[in-house]
Chain A
Amino acid sequence: MSETPQTNPYRDMMGKAFANAIPLNAQFEITYRCNHLCTFCYNSPTGQRELTTPQIFEALKKMADFGVLYLTLTGGEAMCHKDFWAIAAETRRLGMALRVYSNGFLLGDKKVVNRLAKLGPHEVEISLHGARPESHEALTHIKGSFDKTVQALDNLVEAGIKVNLKCPITKLNQDELIGVRDIGEKRGLFVTFDPVITPKDDGNQDPLSLRPDDAFFERYWGELYQELHHGKLPPRANHCAAEGSEANCGTARSGFTIDPYGNILPCVAFRRQVANILEIDSLERIWRTSPVLNEVRDLAVQASDELRKHKDGQYFQFCLGVAEVQTGDPLGIYPQAEVNAGAVRKTYELLQIEDKNDGRKSA
């Protein structure tokens, strides 16, 4: 009656959920509080009152009733919420699989990790911003944060918790990505690098000054990506899009985001307000009837159509949210996406030339 994942039934099921816009994931930003001061952080608190803990519980119940399978607690730094433990326990009690996104600082303490392990989290994603204290802390502005985060990786692995390590690529760490990979791989972790720095949620473009220059990205997609990933070729679509889907990505489809004020958003990057979770009876109804969500779903399909017209269309990783804050148009092609797509195309072209020359296989 059942199959394990990685076989086709699992992919088929995920594909069906995607095609029918049945969301399996929700990201819940439970607070904007944080113990780091990352220069580039996209969070843009407005000064409104954040949800209280009983309101967070109410929101969790609505998400569980809606059938959310994977609930991610994030922020800000979710672990800085005064009731983080009660919220995480409630997530599990409601039957949802718990993911935590964290900077790892508090998880540098074994006792904290053991407490987390007791909740049976599905996985934890940790951000690391360099392979050395100097580079990591140049971004976080917290002395000692590198050691804590690396210690967190050891603690989590020791406690048997699945960890993914992620690293947004900045000018501060662009020359030590192999070192970051090695920190992860030494511990048996899956490591991902994010090649896009986004503006702040309020439209402030300051974070973009930390983006490496175009020449770096030519090199990144041309050589470094394969070196980092042991010969794997660069992706040619968004990681959150199901194979063969007509939508560019999973916004308003595979999941949604709730911000610390309770606003329901199509995804973490595309922050159009749908409704407030406290003001609705059922997520199911709003999910199917919201004009905002329906428009965003249509836009994600239009984005695919538009990209197909671009000369590098098949190589694009494109985010409608980044497009909207950067160009004012969710379908507007922003420079980072274009540079990346051009560099990925060149990589594939080069591999085909090599194919002809020496018979080596490419994608």
Chain B
Amino acid sequence: MSSAPEKPLRHPETAFRTIGDEGGLVVMSGRQEVKVLNPAAIKIFTMLDGEHSREQIAEAIAGEFDVSAEDALKDVNAFIDDLAQHGMLNATP
């Protein structure tokens, strides 16, 4: 479990776009990094606004995708940790 905050906020230098039902792209401006995200991941990313807790995000994922709340929370945590490692979360929301 990372030290990423309970109501995570994406890094202000990220830009993202949902592309139809396919998922989406996240650009880390200033670093020329682009990530391709699947539909669940882009949904999580859009909710990293500093207002939703990990549990709320997991609930939304479980509601929209065919996954249990427990598994959704695991996925959300893993994804958020990965983003934090890549410097894509704001350290101080």
Contacts and interface: CB of A to CB of B under 8 A. Distances in A.
B22 A1 contact: no
A24 B17 contact: yes
B38 A70 contact: no
Given A2-B36, A92-B13, A121-B30, A16 B19 contact: yes
B2 to A, nearest CB: 15
Nearest to B32: A162
Given A2-B41, A16-B20, A121 B29 contact: yes
A120 interface: yes
Given A92-B29, A120-B30, A121-B29, A1 B17 contact: no
Contacts of B19: 13, 16-17, 20, 22
Nearest to B30: A120
Contacts of A161: 30
A238 B44 CA distance: 35
Interface stretch (A95-103, A228-236, A258-266, A331-339): A95-103
Contacts of B24: 13
Contacts of B13: 92, 120
Interface in B25-56: 25-27, 29-30, 32-38, 40-41
Given A1-B82, A13-B19, A13-B23, A98 B29 contact: yes
Nearest to B18: A67
Interface string B55-93: 000000000000000000001001100100000000000
Contacts of A68: 17
B4 to A, nearest CB: 15
Interface residues of A, number: 30
A4 B36 CA distance: 6
Interface size class of B (residues with CB under 8 A): 20 to 34
B68 to A, nearest CB: 17
A3 B35 contact: yes
Max chain B CB contacts within 10 Å: which of A22, A69, A117? A69
Given A1-B41, A16-B19, A92-B13, A24 B25 contact: yes
Contacts of A1: 37-38, 40-41, 75, 78-79, 82
A95 B23 contact: no
Contact of A2 (B12, B29, B75, B82): B82
A109 interface: no
Given A13-B19, A69-B17, A95-B16, A4 B35 contact: yes
Given A3-B35, A10-B34, A121-B30, 14 more contacts: A2-B41, A13-B19, A13-B36, A16-B19, A17-B19, A17-B20, A24-B17, A69-B17, A70-B15, A96-B15, A97-B29, A121-B29, A161-B30, A162-B32
Interface of B: 12-20, 22-27, 29-30, 32-38, 40-41, 75, 78-79, 82
8 contacts: A1-B38, A1-B40, A3-B35, A16-B22, A17-B20, A67-B17, A120-B29, A122-B32
